[in-house]
Each structure stands twice: as structure tokens, then as C-alpha cells.
Amino acid sequence: VASRFVAFGELLLRLDPRGHDRLVQAEEFRARYTGAEANVAVSLACFGRDAAVVSRVPDHEIRQACVNYLRRFGVDVGGVVRGGDRLGIVYVETGASQRPSRVVYDRTGTSLREARPEEFDWDRLLTGRDWFHFSGTAPALGPNVQAVLKDALRAARRLGLTVSCDANYRSKLWGPEEAGRVLGDLLEEVDAFIGGAEDAEKVFGIRPPPGASPAEFRVEAAAVLRRRFGLRHVAMTIRGGDSASEGRLAGFIADGAGAWESREYEMEIVDRIGGGDAFTAGIVHGLLAGWEPSRTVEFAAAAACLKHSVPGDFNLVTAEEVEALVAGRGGSRVVR
């Protein structure tokens, strides 16, 4: 069986000090591999879907470790091209209470930044697949990746894949104007867009109507985005709380027929990173399954909630576990 979901984006080595140690105390790092788009692929593989990652990594031992790490969780890595000098690194310091988590990027000069369009045979990579996904951190890597991505979107359109994009705006990678311009171009080819209300405001200049509540602004922002870029679905995570140890999370989705919010979860947080990617995977899972938007957003919010309990970026939970949470079976019982 061919893989049905394909994600394109950068792969990185994630290094964490142990427990709540600060980077300046660290004598050892836990090593895991990640990437906004790879996280979505791994999550979908855990839900039982065929999922593949396309990327570019240097040809040495660390590449092999990275590729193996994805393969271990069931992702097809046949589309990971070899070349360039380095794998990017992300150092993650896990905060607690009033101390926020910190992420230090070391992403200059990475292999993907220097990718050339001719290295990726998108017709081969996308044939027989149903869904293509990328996030804003990919085009933020510069003109090379943007060119690769445009090829990919053209091929996806030609081959009839559904396309999703997670805004994933990072001010360390690019400014809001450039992000708005580049993402705006790409969104023309996108069906499902995932991005928070602040991104809508900061990157696309959509202002909350005077006196609008946050919920009203979400509906309005989604409508504007849908109109402006011809999107079918717009989804968002809704986060609350003021602590690195605890938080609240819900999901939102809108399409031509309406807008839906999921229930809100109060969470104790083991690892915050990757929550948005887990939400995206939930949305893709529901849309691929043809579920109602309300079911889709409940599933995605529950998936994102569970991610916060799993160490690392990958949401290593099954679809059954997500469904159990949607059905109200919380964490207090011991599953024996």
C-alpha cells in the first residue's frame, strides 16, 4: 500500500537538558529528532495512517540516526534526500510554573535551506497519495525552500491532493511582512489552513472588529482568511492559562457551513512542544476520514491535549486513546 499522507519540511535534532534543568546547568542532553511537519506525519502514523516525510539532510551518521528515529515510529522516509552540510538543532529547556519554556534554534546553514528544486521528483513523491502538508517554518527558510515548495504545490494540485498548511509563525525565522507575502502566495494552493488568531492579526493584518470577543474574532478571522485565500477549512488552537506547568486548550474549526469549538481541557503539562502539530494531525485525520467538523475538532483538541502529557515532540498516542478522551474517559483510572 502506498503512503497517503506526505509532509514536507525541515528535520532537526532536539536536545533537552534533563527534567527542569536550565540549559546553563545541562551536563547531558536527551536526543530526539523532530520537525513541525514530521511531527504531524508521526502522529498520523500512530493513528494508523500511511505517512511519509520529504526533506533534505546531510549524509553522515547523524542523518542516519534522524532517519531511523522517524522510521521507528512508522513513517516512510524514502523521500528524505541526502545533501548539504548540517541538520538543524533545537535546544529545548522545559520551564515550570512562572518560568516559561525556552527554545534556542541553531538553524543556519542547514541542508534544507540549500535544497535545489531538481533534487525533489514531486511527481514520484506524490503519486498515489491523498494529502500534502507543510508549515510556515519551511518557506521561512528562504528562496530555495520556497521554490521547492512551489513545485510541490503545483504537483499536488495536478495530482489532486488536498493541501494543508500550518502558519507556525516564528519571529526568529522571518518578519511578519515577509511571512504574510510569501505565505499569502502559497495559500492560494491550500485547502486547509491551521493558524491562531494572533497569526491572522500579525501576519495577515486582520484586525478584530471593535468590541469583538475573542470567540467572535476567531469566527471573523476565519471568514476573512477563507475568503481572501479561497480556503475550505480554517482551524485554530485556543490556549489559556499563565503557567508553564498547567494550561487550558480547546480547538476551533470553520468552513463554509459554520464554525465549531471543542470542549476545553485543563491540562498539567509534561511537554508543551508539538501541541500545535498534534492538533494539525487531528484535523487532517478527521478531514481525511470525512468526519463532521464538530467531530473533527473534538478529536483534534483531544489529540493536542494528550500531546502535552507525552515527552518529546511526537504525539505517541493511538486513535483509540484520543477517542477515549473524546468519550470522556479521563486520566484518573489506571488502564490495566
Cβ neighbour number for residue 12 with a 10 Å cutoff? 26
Residues between 273 and 292 that touch a copy of itself (CB under 8 A): 273
The smaller minimum CB distance to a copy of itself, of residues 171 and 213, is found at 171
Cβ neighbour number for residue 56 with a 10 Å cutoff? 27
Residues between 140 and 199 that touch a copy of itself (CB under 8 A): 170-172
270 binds a copy of itself, rule: CB under 8 A: yes
- Minimum Å gap between C-beta 277 and a copy of itself is 13
8 Å CB contact between 102 and 16: no
- Minimum Å gap between C-beta 43 and a copy of itself is 13
The H or E element that residue 98 is part of is none
b vs e for 76-93, b when ≥16 Cβ sit within 10 Å of the residue's Cβ? Answer: bbebbbeebebbbbbbbb
CA distance 122 to 309: 36
The smaller minimum CB distance to a copy of itself, of residues 223 and 324, is found at 324
Structure letter (DSSP) for residue 108: T
Q: How many residues sit close enough to a copy of itself to count as binding (CB under 8 A)?
A: 84
The smaller minimum CB distance to a copy of itself, of residues 19 and 256, is found at 19
Give residues with Cβ within 8 angstroms of 121, minimum separation 6.
Answer: none
The smaller minimum CB distance to a copy of itself, of residues 40 and 326, is found at 326
The smaller minimum CB distance to a copy of itself, of residues 247 and 286, is found at 247
102 binds a copy of itself, rule: CB under 8 A: yes
8 Å CB contact between 3 and 42: no
2 binds a copy of itself, rule: CB under 8 A: no
**Residue 225-254 contact track with a copy of itself, rule CB under 8 A, x = bound:** --------------xxxxxxxxx-------
CA distance 211 to 7: 39
31 binds a copy of itself, rule: CB under 8 A: yes
Structure letter (DSSP) for residue 140: G
118 binds a copy of itself, rule: CB under 8 A: no
Among 154, 268, 292, 327, binds a copy of itself (CB under 8 A): 268
95 binds a copy of itself, rule: CB under 8 A: yes
Among 56, 86, 129, 233, binds a copy of itself (CB under 8 A): 86
Q: At what angle do helices 197-204 and 176-187 cross, to 10 degrees?
A: 100
327 binds a copy of itself, rule: CB under 8 A: no
Q: Which stretch binds a copy of itself (CB under 8 A): 138-146, 177-185, 224-232, 306-314?
A: 306-314
Handedness of CA 304, 310, 314, 315 (dihedral sign): negative
- Minimum Å gap between C-beta 15 and a copy of itself is 7
CA distance 204 to 169: 11
CA distance 207 to 221: 8
The smaller minimum CB distance to a copy of itself, of residues 178 and 246, is found at 246
8 Å CB contact between 289 and 328: no
Among 204, 265, 279, 299, binds a copy of itself (CB under 8 A): 265
127 binds a copy of itself, rule: CB under 8 A: no
Assigned C-alpha cell, 147? 521554490
Of 109, 115, 180, 203, which Cα lies nearest the Cα of 152?
115
29 binds a copy of itself, rule: CB under 8 A: yes
Give residues with Cβ within 8 angstroms of 101, minimum separation 6.
Answer: 92, 93, 94, 95, 244, 272, 273
334 binds a copy of itself, rule: CB under 8 A: yes
64 binds a copy of itself, rule: CB under 8 A: yes
- Minimum Å gap between C-beta 224 and a copy of itself is 25
26 binds a copy of itself, rule: CB under 8 A: yes
255 classed as catalytic: no
Active site (catalytic) residues:
277
